[in-house]
Structure 1
Amino acid sequence: MKRIWPFLRKSKAAMVLLAVELAIIGFTLAQAVQPAANYEIMPDQWEVIAKNATIDYDEEGRIGAVEPAEEESILRTSQLRLSAGHYKIEADYNFVPTQNKDEQESHAGVYFMADDAMVVTGERELFAVGRTHDTVVLNVRYTNKTIRLVAYDGGGVFTLGKVTIQQDRVYAWVRVLGWLLAAFFLDLLLLLFLPTSPLAIRNADLRGCLFLLGGAVLLASMPVLMQGGGIFGDDIHFHLSRIEGIAQGLKSGQFPVRIYSQAKNGYGYAPSLFYGELCLYFPAVLRTLGVSVQLSYHLYVLAVQMLTAGIAFYSFRQMFSHNKTALLGSVLYLLNPYRLQNLYWRAAVGEYTAMAFLPLIPAALCLLYGKKEPTKKQAGVACTEMVIAFGMLLQTHMISLEIMVLATAVFCLFHLRRTFSRCVLFVWLKSVAIVLLLNLWFLLPFLEIMGSGIYGGMYGGTTMNAGRMIQRLGYTIPELFTWNTYSKNIGIELIIGCMVFLWVWIGHDEEIPHREQKIGLWSTGIGLAACWASTNTFPWGLVGALPGKISGILLAIQFPWRYLTLAAILLTLATLCAVSLLRPKKLARPLAVLLLSASLLGLGLFYREFFPYESRSYRGDCGELVYADSIVSNMSWYYDNLYLPAGAKENRDGFVFETEVTTAKVERIEKTENGVMLQYVCDKEADGKIELPLLYYPVYSIKEGAGTLFKTENGMLGIQVPVGSSGTIRVAVQEPLHWRLVELVSVVTILVWTESSQKKKRKMVCEKA
């Protein structure tokens, strides 16, 4: 600090920046310490604005549309003065939905409007169907005194009782913390990159490369840096719902979150048992602090972008020992069309997160399978890289894990002698053991669930026809190698890079360095094979005809173009090998300029096509998230049907119960935050059965009362109660004891592995000293 302050005092620009940062933080702090805005609106305080609906008071004294009519805004408040921030809208209401001519269920809710432009976000929060009390969150961008709360009816009967508007003070303080962190990291970056700074990175070449890499991250993140942008894509609702579900689970006391209790309209849904979600805890924690689901997702995307750039640069620098080569590879990988398609067109959160960790695998293989046996230090580094890479693939995207395991297995089998050498085999065994122990908290429940045979919706079959169905979804070869609609290509720059590598390898008389030749040939060979596997010319039908277990694993990819995940990293490596080989001939720079130009042109074409589509859709915070796709499905039930228990059947507006299960008399049943509470009476002739409004997952236990849980024929959670019994039963989320024990094993493994790594580092430092 003694060196930093004199530097700042000498720089007028630095002092201006500090003044601006302090002003922003001070303004945000002043807003946070103000008394929270608090309004209470009674039924007689609403102004009627409906044009078609019949507005009156119902029997309970609530006001609103007492008869179904066309959808419209029906009520509004007087003008309110609200400062920027989040507001909780808590309402007592009655809502009876109707269906329109397209058999879409109607919904009702509230939104903010203002006389001045850009003051409010325009989102509409919708109240839950089947309840009479709900809390939603609305956002205000700028402090204004012309804001009104408006009640919106989608066509059903909708009446409102008492409504309260209260500012979320937690979020106000989170904003202060957010600005403090933003100012800290901005200042730190400036101190690291300004050449005259006492903390500047002394290697000018490295400093320049990292600066340009940061610019590439900003270029790749343009959609999420725009107001309301980046919330678009095929799977965006599912993944935003996952963030919301994890946040709700954390609020209700679950850790780790095993089930989204509010999903499926309170029936609960458990993607967490089938799908790694560790990285999504970051946006979910932000969500629990009051950050909107949109901003939480934006921050997650930015974090993944920086992580991808950082890991790629580290890995390529380790492999090629050259800063500019590492920079080129990182930019090409960051701006790869398939990766951008995953980010923005498809919103494939698991897949694009997994791609952040892929470069570590070839980096580790280069250490283990070089011309010479790896040293003890290299083996240790490779082990750490393998643990991080494969562990995070397991926690982000199982299909990417499968693809990378297959590719790595082919490589290891080809190098069988080196693989079974003492040093390398020990690294593999150690890496696998650590990955398994670290992830045992997820793996054991996953294997139990999959082994039960109750949940099989995610697999499409193991026949030749199933393989042909996958083959039909593949890209055409012209699509794969050219710029096209939706960026269905691997990147022209990578094709150019591979062609140059093959030209250098075939045409040069001089001996090619062993390292570049080996990396380039393996990367080109497996990379082009992965490209072929992603097309509709690959014989996936024959894969489906393989013995059941093998074909079942291979066909789990669902879409063949997922193999472009593997192709993107390998063809980037082949391209870097071409650049590295041309460096002695002074041709590396022209090739790098050509590749970067092609990559930036592809990015421009991508954004030119993407932004008009993306701007058509706006995603609200919570209620809008749940119902926004009601045109194609009721978002209460949206979370897909891949992880439903056998017997559970959905239609557009709920579950279908084909079998009568309940035999005991249920006097009262109500859903709680994490389960249900019921009162029952069982006759004296036989044990009774009660079917609960919860999907069957082995995460529930009986917390109060007597009975045995089982899966009903309808895929629901059932209770068998003793003959002649009666009373109250409370069922809530509580993991089995052995799941809790393996969680403890994973925690202990983290501590032991971390401490072991620190000891090795301290030992190395002492040896150098």
Structure 2
Amino acid sequence: MAEKQNWVKKYKGQLILTVLLVLLVLVAPFDTYYQREVGAEELEVPSEAEETAVVTEDEEPALVIEGGTGYTGSVAQTEEITLQKGSYRLQVVGLSESGENRIEVWSTRCLNGDNSEGRLLADASLEPGGEMTELAFQAEASLEEVQFRIVYGGTGSMNVSSLYLVSQQRMYRDPVILAGLVVLASLLIFLYRIRKGDPDGTGKTAFLVLGAAVIISSLPLTFQYVLDGNDLYYQFNRIQGIQEALKAGQFPVKLHSTFLHGYGYGSSIFYPELFLYFPAFLGCLGMSLVGCYRLLLLGVHAATAFVSYRSFSAVMESREKGMLAAVFYTLSVYRLLDLYTRAALGEGMAMIFLPLVLWGMYELFLGNEKKWYLAALGFTGVMQCHILSTELALGFSALFGLIYIRRLKEKGRIPALALGTVSTALMNVGLVLPILQHTAYPFKVFSVESTLSWWTVTLPKLFDLLMFNPTERMYAGLENSGEMPCTIGFVLFLGILAFLYVWLTRPEKRKADPGLRRCMTALVLAGIGLYVSTCYFPWDRVQSIGLLNRLVSTVQFPWRCLAISTALLCPVCAEGVWHLSENRELRKGLCVGAGVLAVLCSLIYVNRYCEEAMPRYTSLNQYQREKAQVDVMYFVDVEHSNSFRMWNRDDTFVASDGVELADCARTEKPAAGFSFEKAEGAGAYVDVSLTWYPDYGARLSDGTELTTGIGDGGVLRVYLPEEAKGSVKVFYREPGYIHLGRWISLVSFLGVCLVWVRKSASKKKKE
């Protein structure tokens, strides 16, 4: 009985906290229904109806239509919106003298079987004498560019003051899903405590301190909307694209079929998206896109704190030092800038794994080489987030290896290095093979040119304290005013000074402490990263050399090196603060003061960003597919191939002269189909409304493969056979070696994880 009481007492606090968090989530004011109101002032009157309809400028505007002009047809329409699958009810507030006046719901971009565009989803007559007309309709799938039109029948007068749209069922399950995640997290912590026991004092302190750092980093996520960032629209479109592709049965996702009016976009081919499946999966379960994105960033902050704490603690051989370094890293301004101002998810997520790369390289060259799997997992994590960050990490790791190359003479280090290299290659072969496959084609991603000296920072910005303009971009050309604060932050600058003070004033300490010497190596490498990020590095001379230009131009922005420098400097600064005093109490005070300063500096950025950034996505427009230019790199390099032209194309198929089309269809798979009739003979073709990629194929209903190629503006062209008629199916089929590569990556990853688990278990048995 006493044991049971002790058990209840031990876990009672966690249970109470879990219940409170669940209740807070369930009562939080989430938008679970889709609802939207359109006032008369927001209606657009077509030019041909301007003599018939007018929007008054009264205090309460209204659309007024007077009869007698002889005009019939659409007199007003709303902006186009995107609706998710579900049932909706539309209410029209207004008066009509005739039952011939109607409200219509159109999907303006829907492809019809007869190769026309636009489909009437539902309509209803405005009841004469009534003040409100209701119309219920169903969206069988996610619909892009839905529009509501008010149609005048030609007789009587009519006025409309507003339209109100609401979903007839809950569209989003954010409270339930979040509550479930809270319970799941609590259960995992509970199981960990049963198996491992409660953490000691240092562990509890680290949990509280790093938890506070995560909360501070997440303050911009506490609004009911998502604040704007440079690439935010692209990140939302990527998550939505994966979500819709998963719903359509496409796994793994090869093309984002929701991009560019359904033409599709090859972001998944060239850009790692493994970790975006998590928010996309939650979206499939019913979480709103805004909720998915906020939860993803919260997870990035938490993962950064955890990985950096474990990694820095191991490298510095002290959990206290590792905790301070992890606080610096979690609150680092450049990391927050990546995730909020730039909305550069790939680079921001890659920064989770940079400390693990440092830990892995330390073990390979200076520590226990049998932990080679740490470097393999670290590089794999970076590569599955951001390929350019992988290139930079490899470059700095090569410099690290050159510095400590003599250590490879020690027994077991070369085999360990080989194991780590081969394992990394195998775990990422599934990502690399599609990229290598597409190098045979003229995609712009392989011919990007950038004047690197334009994308550098000045010295004042490198250690910026006040961080003005947190919502601006970094513009091409060397400017210092009006740009985003591309900086590593003032805290790391002070930390560098603290370390240099210790290094210069305590020669006996640096001789006796190998940790200080390792930190000096890290400082040198970080200094190289800082130097190449600034305008003082001769990038123009480097790019004047052909071979070097091809090697470095893909980096695009030299200030990307600030991510590596930040990861290297955080343990350096922690070591410097730690050794400022040998007195334990004074040292503790210095560490607390440094942590508080890191909090204050990060809050300067966070508060400025929250004050200046505009709300970008809410429950109303979170699924809106913006007509913005996506990255031009993922288009084939042919004339007229770019996203703006794709946006302006119709969704219809374009056939050569003499070809008649029927049964036209296009799905999210991605796939398409059509039937054709023509005169017998060769040379006829059909341009399908899909962006061309080499793995598209086409076949007749009898299985005969057809030739495909690049059509006008970079769309898919299907060359028709000599037969006079037939049915064609368009499909996307990757080569077998791509599938094999993915299986190799999965098996290799599981194998490396198994090695890690077995070695950890073996170590515990010995202890």
Q: TM-score range by the shorter chain?
A: 0.7 to 0.9
Write out aligned runs for 1:130-279 (5 A).
130-131=109-110, 132=118, 158-159=149-150, 167=168, 172=173, 175-183=175-183, 185-186=185-186, 201-228=198-225, 230-279=226-275
Q: Is the 8 A contact 1:265 1:637 kept in 2?
A: no
Q: CA deviation at 1:37?
A: 10
Question: Are the aligned partners of 1:260 and 1:270 in contact in 2 as well (CA < 8 Å)?
Answer: yes
Distance 1:395 1:526, change over 3 A: same
Alignment of 1:659-670 (within 5 A): 662=656, 665-668=659-662, 669-670=664-665
**Could you tell me which residue of structure 1 aligns to residue 720 of structure 2?**
721
Corresponding residue to 2:365 among 341, 353, 369: 369
User: Residue 649 of structure 1: SS of its match in structure 2?
Assistant: coil
| Amino acid aligned to 1:260 | H
TM-fit CA distance, 1:95: 9.2
- 1:107 alignment partner AA: E
Q: 1:722, CA displacement in angstroms?
A: 2.0
Report the Cα distance in structure 1 between the residues aligned to 2:643 and 2:571, rounded to whole angstroms. Answer: 47
1:286 aligns with 2:282: yes
Offset at residue 368 of structure 1 (A): 2.7
1:237 offset after TM fit, Å?
0.6
| Structure-2 separation of matches of 1:26 and 1:564 | 40
Could you give the per-residue CA deviations for residues 618-660 of structure 1, whole angstroms, max 9, x where no partner exists?
4135855535xxxxxxx24543322111224347464679xx9
Preserved contact between residue 394 and residue 401 of structure 1 (Cα < 8 Å)? yes
Residue number among 434, 441, 452 corresponding to 2:440 in the alignment: 452
Q: 1:607 Cα deviation (Å)? A: 2.4
What is the CA distance between 1:274 and its match in structure 2?
A: 0.6
Residue 695 of structure 1 is matched in structure 2 by: 691
Q: How does 1:507-522 map to 2 (within 5 A)?
A: 507-512=505-510, 513-522=512-521
| Letter matched to residue 380 of structure 1 | K
CA distance in structure 1 between the partners assigned to 2:10 and 2:747 by the alignment: 50
SS in 1 for 2:343: coil
State the Cα distance separating 1:494 from its structure 2 match: 1.0
Residues 309-708 of structure 1 correspond to what in structure 2 (within 5 A)? 309-370=305-366, 374=367, 378-381=368-371, 383-419=372-408, 423-449=412-438, 451-457=439-445, 459-461=447-449, 466=450, 469-483=451-465, 484-485=467-468, 486=470, 487-512=485-510, 513-548=512-547, 550-582=548-580, 584=582, 586=584, 588-614=587-613, 616-621=614-619, 624-627=622-625, 635-636=626-627, 638-647=629-638, 648-650=640-642, 652=644, 654=646, 662=656, 665-668=659-662, 669-673=664-668, 674-702=670-698, 704-705=700-701, 706=704, 707-708=706-707
- Contact 2:364–2:417 (8 Å) recurs in 1: no
Distance 2:267 2:25 in 1: 39
Quote the Cα distance in structure 1 between the aligned partners of 2:435 and 2:728.
28
- The aligned counterpart of 1:295 is 291
Q: Secondary structure at the match of 1:257?
A: coil
CA distance in 2, matches of 1:96, 1:242: 36
CA contact (8 A) 2:272 2:383 kept: yes
| Distance in 2 between residues matched to 1:685 and 1:752, nearest whole Å | 56
In structure 1, the residue matched to 2:159 is none
CA distance in 2, matches of 1:155, 1:384: 51
What is the identity, as a one-letter code, of the residue corresponding to 2:452?
I
Kindly tell me: are residues 264 and 21 of structure 1, through their superposed partners in 2, closer, same or farther at Cα, counting changes over 3 Å? closer
Shift of 1:597: 3.4
Post-superposition shift, 1:311?
0.5
- CA contact under 8 A between 2:677 and 2:726: conserved in structure 1? yes
Cα gap change, 1:663 to 1:741, in 2 (>3 Å): farther
What are structure 2's unaligned runs of at least 5 residues? 64-72, 92-104, 111-117, 122-131, 138-144, 153-162, 471-484
Q: TM-score, normalised by structure 1?
A: 0.77
**CA distance 1:267–1:155, shift in 2 (3 Å):** closer
Compared with structure 1, are the counterparts of its residues 2 and 403 closer, same or farther at alpha carbon in structure 2 (3 Å cutoff)? farther
Query: 1 CA distance for matches of 2:11 and 2:529?
Result: 53
Conserved 8 A contact 2:311-2:356: yes
Deviation at 1:714, TM superposition (A): 2.7
Query: SS state of the match for residue 350, structure 1?
Result: helix
Tell me: CA distance 1:422–1:279, structure 2 relative to 1, closer, same or farther (3 Å).
Answer: same
Long gaps (5+) in structure 1 = 40-45, 57-63, 77-93, 99-104, 115-125, 136-145, 628-634
Deviates more, 1:682-691 or 1:570-579: 682-691
Q: What's the counterpart of residue 739 of structure 2?
A: 740
Residue 662 to residue 37, structure 1, CA distance change in 2 (3 Å): same
Contact 1:217 1:305 in 2 (8 A): yes
Q: Report how far residue 526 of structure 1 moved.
A: 1.4
For 2:176 and 2:81, locate their aligned partners in 1 and report how far apart those are by CA, in whole Å: 34
- Answer 1 or 2: higher relative contact order, Cα 8 Å, separation at least 6: 2
Q: Deviations over 1:582-619 (max 9, x none)?
A: 453556335424422331221222123111222x3241
SS of residue paired to 2:179: helix
- Separation in 2, partners of 1:155, 1:281: 27
Aligned length: 675
Given that residues 325 and 580 in structure 1 are in contact (C-alpha distance below 8 angstroms), is that contact kept between their aligned partners in structure 2? yes
Structure 1 residue 263: deviation in Å? Answer: 1.0
> 2:75 and 2:641 mapped to 1: Cα distance?
24
Q: 1:439 offset after TM fit, Å? A: 1.7
What are the within-5 Å matches in structure 2 for residues 75-114 of structure 1?
A: 107=80
RMSD: 4.5
Assess if the C-alpha contact under 8 Å between 1:53 and 1:74 holds in 2. no
**Residue 96 (structure 2) aligns with:** none
Change (3 A) 1:765 1:50: closer
Q: 1:764 offset after TM fit, Å?
A: 4.5
Distance 1:47 1:305 in 2: 36
Q: 1:700 to 1:522 in 2, by over 3 A?
A: same
Q: Percent of aligned pairs with the same residue?
A: 23
Per-residue deviation, 1:176:
3.3
Conservation of the 8 A alpha-carbon contact between 1:314 and 1:326 = yes
